[in-house]
Structure 1
Amino acid sequence: MGNDTGLTLRTILRDVLSLSEERAAALDAETGLFGAMPELDSMAVAGLLTEIEDRFDIIIEDDEVDGEMLETFGALLTFVDGKRGA
């Protein structure tokens, strides 16, 4: 799953945060997200999570959203993979 999920997740981040193609392509497991990317503020998180739910056909419960899940691209990818496998 991870590879396709990663590509889709990069596209979502690019679209929601208006990142350049280069910045989206450069995202790796260690890339910091919330708190590290100025584009990803609390308002953008809501849009990001909604878009993830729509594109991956998953439901993200409020109690699942925390700083750890949004800390890095890798953490978010792991979370989405987990939700898709559940």
Structure 2
Amino acid sequence: MQHLQEVTNILADVLSLGDRKNSLKADSVLLGNIPELDSMAVVNVITALEDHFGITVDDDEISAQTFETVGTLTGFVEQKLAE
């Protein structure tokens, strides 16, 4: 997961996590664990990922599983980069 740190930084920036960013690891649960990650924040995170990585995410590609952990989100980004 070569983009784990970048995804973590984007999550921390968009969600204004401050020092809590340091506790985010690949297996850190996102949905239901980070109160700031509501439906509007998900949209903002996706937009930030698209801008940072130069990818395009279609609405039908996003599921709760994508945002299950930091690792699943990073894996999704890396899959999009490989397309």
- Output the TM-score relative to the length of structure 2: 0.93
Distance 1:31 1:44 in 2: 17
CA deviation string 1:16-61 (max 9, x = no partner): 00011x3212211211112211010001001000000000000011
* 1:13 paired residue among 1, 11, 14: 11
* 1:70 paired residue among 46, 67, 72: 67
Q: Sequence identity of aligned pairs in percent?
A: 42
Unaligned runs of 5+ in 2: none
- Quote how far apart the aligned CAs of 1:62 are: 0.4
Q: Is residue 37 of structure 1 aligned with residue 34 of structure 2?
A: yes
**Please, what is the CA RMSD of the aligned residues?**
1.0
Unaligned runs of 5+ in 1: none
- What residue number does 1:80 align with? 77
